[in-house]
Structure 1
Amino acid sequence: MTLDTTKHAAQTPDTALPWAELGLKPDEYERIVDILGRRPTGAELAMYSVMWSEHCSYKSSKVHLKQFGEKAPDSSAMLVGIGENAGVVDVGQGYAVTFKVESHNHPSYIEPYQGAATGVGGIVRDILAMGARPVAVMDPLRFGAADHPDTKRVLPGVVAGIGGYGNCLGLPNIGGEVVFDPCYQGNPLVNALCVGVMRHEDIHLAKASGPGNKVILYGARTGGDGIGGVSVLASETFSDSGPAKRPAVQVGDPFQEKLLIECTLEIFAEKLVVGIQDLGGAGLSCATSELASAGSGGMRVELDRVPLRDSSLSPEEILMSESQERMCAVVAPENVDRFLEICEKWDVIATVIGEVTDGDRLEIYWHGEQIVDVPPRTVAHEGPVYHRPYQRPSWQDDLQADDPAKLARPATGDELRAAVLELISSPNQASKSWITDQYDRFVLGNTVLAQPEDAGMVRIDEETNLGVAVATDGNGRYAKLDPYTGAQLALAEAYRNVAATGARPLAVSDCLNFGSPEDPAVMWQFAEATRGLADGCQALGTPVTGGNVSLYNQTGETAIHPTPVVAVLGVIDDVTRRTPVAFAEEGQLIYLLGETRDELGGSAWAQVAHGHLGGLPPAVDLEREKLLAEILISGSRDGMIDAAHDLSDGGLVQALAESCLKGGKGARIVLPEGADPFVTLFSESAGRAVVAVPRSEELRFTDMCAARGLPAARIGVVDGDTLDVQGQFAIPLAELRQAHEATVPALLA
């Protein structure tokens, strides 16, 4: 078979190429021909197909994502923003923290263990590539109905993959979410977040500059796993019978990744690299084109030098392979020997595969024959840009008009008691400890808070106790009712969760999970959610530092609920002053902060009691969220709050139950006079938290709330071994715990 060189391509313009099978549209293929002035070679076609995919190029979403830059609030903390492997923020004392959340949804449906495991591995390498030591991971997860047979296939494998890879890396898993909903049937969402820490001077960027500098590929050998993953798998809807196309899912080796991490950090410490890029989605196609595009523009690569696990791989397959645990570094010639020495010390394979040139082309050779000759920016940064049509769906008005106020509500004490037990034993509100106990939350010894706390928190300086907290949130039910408000509620909840621990929110990363962008209704949801998130971040002063868009999340014609997952990172000067969720001491006074309204659209109660989704989600007041956060942070810092828990899914009664169970202490609750007991207990009004205040600090705390204009009502006291809502019902903690903890093991064990 004749090798498809650039010379051969120029001489055979009529050769048919499988551009459609690789996910390209007819006009996209024609544009490639226009760029090159000839038909592409097979290797060039492979590169353009993966780099112009939705996953890599954001071609359907970038016209909306630009709002994150246009509306970005002024932030002195921002050190590196959107466009790099991950965002970086200044957290003080010379430390910088990098964090990012990404998706590995479709691979995790096909092969749950490896899909989830390599999702963790990929996000960890993104953080490593910035120059940081990874210090913690989190996983926001969404599955189909908890009792569906396919959930029992997918969930255990996903959880085992996350735990297996993260535990082997020695990284604590400090938070995330697990949500069940039939809309995710056949299309689970497996999002992964990683946090890394470095000194300011250690930040590294993905660029290849300096003609004569060497390009070194190091890490695992390249195999046939994951070929075409981002161009096909992440750009296809799933049929009812399974995925439309099944390219191989990547296979992870956490022990190889651990060696790669330590090797890379030693290389950084000796300042041996000019630029660096991890190999994740699109593999070598991405690493070479992005490094060249962000640098001086020229690079020559000898592809036949790439170490292989499978000698039968074609050049196209090598360029498209998404084999894990690989990095690509640009190194000055005088540092190459030392770079290779360090790799050998850590038993990491390293090979010089090319060099930076003074030209403006990315040239790739196979046994001396040129198979790629492209302008790298056209591959990496100048892909198609679509202004997809979008339109508010015709069913949106009817959905919003379907007010949950018409639903039968519990009225007596006995009915309320039954509703509470039904709520906290439902799959979404029940304890997820069966899942999270499979993750190591405390390895490395710096975990301060981990699930089921409101946010995960890690110490990053053992002398000063400086730390960071991270929370992820996203309610697809709210976003289905109103995507703009739903995205802001996700942001507000993550912001509130971070503040509840005593940390000051600084920055945002997001993972925007939606259906097909070719559906105008889905595109409207995406446009509205993105606008809502950009406006919300502007109002809260928390810039978006980076993130991910995952589209085509649907089974057949049925899209998932729009699910913008928002991660908020905050900083705390002294982790010893953090605020936990647990009610821990008898006599603590329980205060409800914020205002409660009759807001049950999209609520957990409506879902559990009636299987209902309709109406409007809770209203958002971002100024109130900022005020509440200031009170929570000040109260934590000044010793006025012993415990805090945000109010969200399930409302006040869910938060009270969780705080009682976490601390092993009961509570006597007196509902506000004249208030509807049901609304008070089950409403999901935003901008609220429940706190435990030491008696000695009550006056100081209430004075602070009054001075700042935050409603604060004393509703009870920590006492006994029962959740006692006086005048309505009492539930012993033992009964509450049984209801809360038995559900998930019974469904999945």
Structure 2
Amino acid sequence: MELYSAFGLTQEEYLKIKERLGREPNQVELGILGALWSEHCSYKSSRRVLKLFPTEGPHVIQGPGENAGVVKLDDEVWLAFKIESHNHPSYIEPFNGAATGVGGIIRDVLSMGARPIALMNSLRFGYPVKGRTRHILKGVVRGISHYGNSIGIPNVGGETYFEECYVTNPLVNAFCLGVMPAGRLYRARATRVGQVLFLIGSSTGRDGIHGAVMASAEVSTETEEKRSTVQVGDPYFGKKLIEAIMEILEKDLIVGMQDLGAGGLAGASSELAGKSQMGVELFLEKVPQREEGMTPFEILLSESQERMLLVAEEEATEELYRIAKKHHLEGAVVGRMTDDGYLRAFYMGSIVAELPVSLIVREAPLYHRPSEEPAYLKELRNYKDEDLPQAPLKESVFLLLRSPNVCSKEGIYTQYDYQVGTNTVLKPGADAALLRIKWVVRPEVKSEKLVALTCEGNGRMVFLNPYEGGKYLVAEALRNLACVGAEPLAITDCLNFGNPERPEIMWQLEKAVEGIADACRFFGVPVVSGNVSLYNETVEKEGARNVYPTPILVAVGKVAGRRWVSHSFREEGSAVFLIGDLNRKLTLGGSEFLKVVHSKVAGDVPPVDLGKELALHNLLREVIENGLILSAHDVSVGGLMIALVESVFSTGLGLEIDLYEDERLDLFFFAEDPTRVVVSVPRGKEEDFKDAVEMAGLDWLLLGRVIDRPILVVRNYGEEIFKEEVASLEKVWREALEEFL
């Protein structure tokens, strides 16, 4: 019992394996099955739920099932992208956990035949930041910057949030985008029996063994014993590996490839054999090793980084060796494809593991976990806005600007190089990042279109209502794209949840996926890749601590027209409008204002009218292309007031707002209801703009005008209710994170 449980297997799973084999599995075989049957690799609790996602569309070249999704940008260029978690490793060893998260997602994209050109990340840390949380945050940010900066790929955007529930379960989700010439796509497949497996990259060490199993269980606050399960990355080897693979692809030397991630060589070879409907033989003594005395178990299951498994004809191996040597990488033929459907691992001529490939990759159990609506929801939804006392407007604004979830994250993202490669058009801090595709591999392969990327994942909203929260996230991600003038191509997701064996956690997962799937289907935006991270739960003396249910979505889009805008006001005298779904009853449920000013997490998620949301996206792209607006910024965390002040920061301009509001001003300024965007309209184009909004079936409200003095003035029925120098507001917003940390 101690043996199979050490590999993350249950008694029932062990007995199923024993019955299938007709014998006792040996320790190496248990290690392989423990890794590949882990939640991290097999998705045994989530697989049935993931089938709800729409995965096809006119732009989709490759959907889920490969290392990354691939979509068509135009006739010349395809895009490959994916997001993945490295949560557990980042708690145990923050620097290496985060760094190898970046390295791993880069190789996922590389393995599709794409050159990685951009990174993003989504981070969640505990609150308040002190003690171990401070250590985790600093280590994670250093790890991300170390790997991305060293490998020379810009980190162009992302998000960072702080909540009490992440104190022992940080979330570190890494995204990578790559580009390839249209038509050049590689998959993890062989094309015929007899082809060889060529291992290229770094040598193999003992780091990362049991990594997949560790990532599929609760975390203990005692982490020292698990430090060896965290991989150690080398971005300089990663850079050499990218250039070697690019040369190999240009010379058309291989037929398929798979990166070595979870499960190491055992995982990569068995997954490749399974997709090829073949078997595989491995010769472990041929694997380049950097430590003496490594056992077959260690060689097979090491998750050492910067390694790729290439499928090639035998006559190509001489050139593969030459390219590996040229780039100062290790290279070796370590296996061969067979026709009998078995994985056989040999060491010095002896078989150390012999398993049916189907048992490893297709016969992991599929669990139908019980689910039940959590009891906490009934209490939280008893909240009513009208029971709140009115908070002073000025004090509330400054409290929100100091909130770590609202204030500037420059202290984090300026540690990343977001302009290396000189393709970054819109830098971090905007609603979406914008990139130009200057070149792919060959200078003649290029695109005139801009690529837009945005990241969203409001776990608090999903906690309050998983289904509506899932729809809310999709709407906001696609609204961010529309705010810069981009149309969506596809989404990649990382689903971060607690222990699925708890019925309330499984219910959260099911409902959140339903909400995301329904919204994606309505908008016609497929989910083409992703990752599930469960067991984000820490067992402590006082009980278990689960994270908020936190789906992270990265939406990828394109700007096909001539124009794009950012969130910043540009011209004195331009009119400032609020547009969208404005006749709805506003609510403070789940808002940052409710948390920061009133110390409450309560209420329900403001529901999204998907029809009006889609109309808003189409309208934004239309008015941007027609030159009817100068800027656009969606109303999200912090509400309307935060959207307004963020639009005026760093512009040297100011804003005068004149309202005629009978509604409570805290609701008006701080509600986080969806389908609302702040835009600025050039002087003289106001009537054309209003006509466009009304033709779209949406509402507009003239808030005021941009002025040439850096001051923010708010009047209601002519009475001045707020007046502050923009510099004072911006100083608080910029310096809050440093003070907070």
TM-score bracket relative to the smaller structure: over 0.9
Q: Is the 8 A contact 2:257 2:310 kept in 1?
A: yes
Q: Is the 8 A contact 2:714 2:723 kept in 1?
A: yes
Tell me, in whole angstroms, the C-alpha distance in 2 between the residues paired with 1:96 and 1:715.
42
1:731 corresponding residue in structure 2: 724
- 1:272 aligns with one of 225, 250, 253: 253
User: How far 1:246 moved relative to its partner?
Assistant: 4.7
Report whether the alignment pairs 1:482 with 2:468. Answer: no
How do residues 156-175 of structure 1 correspond to structure 2 at under 5 angstroms? 156-175=138-157
1: CA distance between counterparts of 2:614 and 2:229?
A: 46
User: Residues 587, 93 of structure 1: CA spacing in aligned structure 2 closer, same or farther, 3 A cutoff?
Assistant: farther
Q: 1:742 to 1:356 in 2, by over 3 A?
A: same
C-alpha deviation, 1:384, in angstroms: 1.2
Alpha carbons 2:453, 2:557 under 8 Å: kept: yes
Are 1:86 and 2:74 counterparts? no
The structure 2 residue matched to 1:591, chosen from 577, 596, 604, is 577
1:671 and 2:664 aligned:
no
Q: Does 1:439 pair with 2:416?
A: yes
1: distance between equivalents of 2:383 and 2:477?
28
Deviation by residue 1:624-659 (Cα, 9 ceiling, x = unmatched): 221111111112222222111111111110111111
* Alpha-carbon distance between aligned partners in 2 of 1:334 and 1:535, rounded to the nearest angstrom: 50
Structure 2: how far apart are the matches of 1:171 and 1:251?
A: 19
Using the TM superposition, give the Cα deviation of residue 151 of structure 1 relative to its aligned residue in structure 2, in angstroms. Answer: 2.1
Q: Secondary structure at the match of 1:313?
A: coil
Cα distance, 1:240 vs. partner?
4.8
Q: Deviation of residue 154 (structure 1)?
A: 0.8
Q: Which sits farther off after the overlay, 175-184 or 714-723? A: 714-723
Give 5+ residue unaligned stretches, structure 1. 1-15
Is it true that 1:66 corresponds to 2:43 in the alignment? no
Between the aligned partners of 1:182 and 1:34, the Cα distance in structure 2 is 45
2:230 counterpart (235, 249, 253): 249
Secondary structure of the structure 2 residue equivalent to 1:430: coil
Matched to 2:515, the amino acid is G
The CA distance in 1 between the partners of 2:677 and 2:597, in whole Å, is 24
| Cα distance, 1:404 vs structure 2 | 4.3
- Mapped to 2, the partners of 1:241 and 1:217 lie a distance apart of 35
Query: Does residue 1:709 correspond to 2:686, yes or no?
Result: no
- Of residues 56, 73, 86, the one that matches 2:41 is 56
Question: Does the CA contact (< 8 Å) of 2:94 and 2:139 recur in 1?
Answer: yes
C-alpha contact (below 8 Å) 2:341/2:358 kept by paired residues: no
Q: What does the per-residue CA deviation read over 1:520-542, in whole Å, with 9 as the maximum and x for residues that have no partner?
A: 11111011111111111111111
- 1 CA distance for matches of 2:73 and 2:685? 30
The equivalent of 1:660 in structure 2 is: 648
Deviation at 1:677, TM superposition (A): 2.3
1:721 equivalent to 2:721? Answer no
Structure 1 residue 247, shift from structure 2 partner: 4.1
Q: What is the identity, as a one-letter code, of the residue corresponding to 1:639?
A: G
* Structure 1 residue 338: Cα displacement: 1.5
1:220 alignment counterpart: 202
Among candidates 291, 296, 320, match of residue 339 of structure 1? 320
**Cα shift at 1:377:** 2.3
SS in 2 for 1:30: helix
Compute the displacement of 1:318 (Å): 1.5
Say which is worse superposed, 259-268 or 89-98, in terms of deviation: 89-98
Report Cα offsets for 1:120-144 as digits up to 9, x if no partner.
0000000000110101000000000
Residue 611 (str. 1) matches residue 599 (str. 2): yes
1:196 aligns to 2:178 (yes or no): yes
Match of 1:544 in 2: 527
Counterpart Cα distance in 2 of 1:228 and 1:558: 23
Q: Which residue of 1 aligns with 2:551?
A: 564
Q: Does 1:44 align with 2:44?
A: no
Partner of residue 106 from structure 1, selected from 88, 99, 103: 88
1:451 paired with 2:436, answer: no
Render the CA deviation track for 1:272-305: whole Å, top value 9, x for unaligned. Answer: 1111000111111210001111114121110111
Determine which of 154, 162, 165 is the counterpart of 1:180.
162
The one-letter code sitting in structure 1 at the alignment partner of 2:318 is: D
Give 1:5's aligned residue: none
Take 1:653 and 1:212, find their aligned partners in 2: how far apart are those partners? Answer: 65
**Does 1:419 pair with 2:396?**
yes
Deviation at 1:182, TM superposition (A): 0.4
Residues 381-440 of structure 1, C-alpha deviation per residue, up to 9 Å, x if partnerless? 331110011111122211221334422222xxxx20111111111111111101111011
The alpha-carbon deviation at position 159 of structure 1 amounts to 0.6
Stretch of structure 1 that moved more, 45-54 or 150-159: 150-159
Give 1:526's aligned residue.
Answer: 509
- Residue by residue over 1:73-109, the C-alpha shift from the partner in whole angstroms, topping out at 9 and shown as x without a partner, is x511011001000111111132111111110001111
* Helix, strand or coil at the partner of 1:641: coil
Q: 1:243 to 1:570 in 2, by over 3 A?
A: farther
Change (3 A) 1:516 1:464: closer
Work out the CA distance in 2 between the residues paired with 1:446 and 1:570: 16
Is the contact made by 1:302 and 1:365 (CA closer than 8 Å) also made in structure 2?
yes
Structure 1 stretch displaced more, 461-470 or 135-144: 461-470
- Structure 2 counterpart of 1:548, one-letter code: N
Shift of the 550–738 alpha-carbon distance from structure 1 to 2, 3 Å rule, reads same
**Contact map agreement 1:297 1:362 (CA 8 A) in 2:** no
Aligned pair in 2 of structure 1 residues 242, 397: CA closer, same or farther (>3 Å)? farther
Q: Say if 1:244 and 1:598 are closer, same or farther in 2 by CA, change over 3 A.
A: farther
Counterpart position of 1:23: 8
Q: Deviations over 1:300-334 (max 9, x none)?
A: 11011111111222111222111110000000122
Q: Which moved more, 1:156-165 or 1:91-100?
A: 91-100
The separation in 1 between residues aligned to 2:108 and 2:73, in whole angstroms, is 19
Instruction: Give the conservation status (yes or no) of the 8 Å contact 2:75–2:182.
Output: no
Distance across 1 between alignment mates of 2:514 and 2:395: 40
Asked if the contact 1:667/1:716 (under 8 Å) is kept, the reply is yes
Give me the whole-angstrom Cα distance separating, in 1, the residues matched to 2:231 and 2:223: 18
Deviation at 1:35, TM superposition (A): 2.1
C-alpha change, 1:263 and 1:205, in structure 2 (3 Å) is same
1:647 paired residue among 628, 631, 635: 635
Which residue in 1 is equivalent to 2:311? 330
TM-score (norm. length: structure 2): 0.95
Cα displacement (A) at 1:17 = 7.2
For the residues of structure 2 that align with 1:345 and 1:696, how far apart are their CA atoms?
Answer: 62
How has the CA–CA distance of structure 1 residues 361 and 739 changed in structure 2, closer, same or farther, with 3 Å as cutoff?
Answer: same
| In structure 1, C-alpha distance between the alignment counterparts of 2:102 and 2:167, rounded to whole Å | 22
Measured against aligned partners, the alpha-carbon deviations of 1:491-516 in whole angstroms (never above 9, x if no partner) come to 11111111111110111111100000
Q: Which moved more, 1:339-348 or 1:286-295?
A: 339-348
The number of equivalent residue pairs is 724
Helix, strand or coil at the partner of 1:201: coil
State the 1:695 CA deviation: 1.6
* RMSD, aligned CA: 1.5
2:77–2:447 CA contact under 8 A, matched in 1: no
Q: 1:372 aligns with which of 331, 353, 357?
A: 353
Give the distance between the partners of 2:619 and 2:73, measured in 1 at CA. Answer: 21
Asked if the contact 2:109–2:177 (Cα under 8 Å) also holds between the matched residues in 1, the reply is yes
Secondary structure of the corresponding residue to residue 706 of structure 1: helix
Tell me if structure 2 keeps the 8 A contact 1:671–1:680: no
What's the counterpart of residue 442 of structure 2? none
Rounded Cα–Cα distance in structure 1 between residues aligned with 2:298 and 2:136: 28
Residues 1:404 and 1:229: Cα distance change in structure 2 (over 3 Å) = farther
Alignment partner of 1:618: what SS? Answer: coil
Contact 1:237 1:243 in 2 (8 A): no
DSSP 3-state at the match of 1:443: coil
Distance of 2:126 and 2:2 partners within structure 1? 39
CA distance in 2 between partners of 1:336 and 1:86 (Å): 26
Residue pair 1:146, 1:427 contacting (<8 A) in 2 also:
no
CA deviation vs aligned residue, 1:453-495 (integer Å, no higher than 9, x gap): 0111111146653121111111111111101111111111111
The answer to whether residue 281 in structure 2 is matched with residue 300 in structure 1 is: yes
The question of whether the paired residues in 2 share the 8 Å contact of 1:672 and 1:715 is answered with no
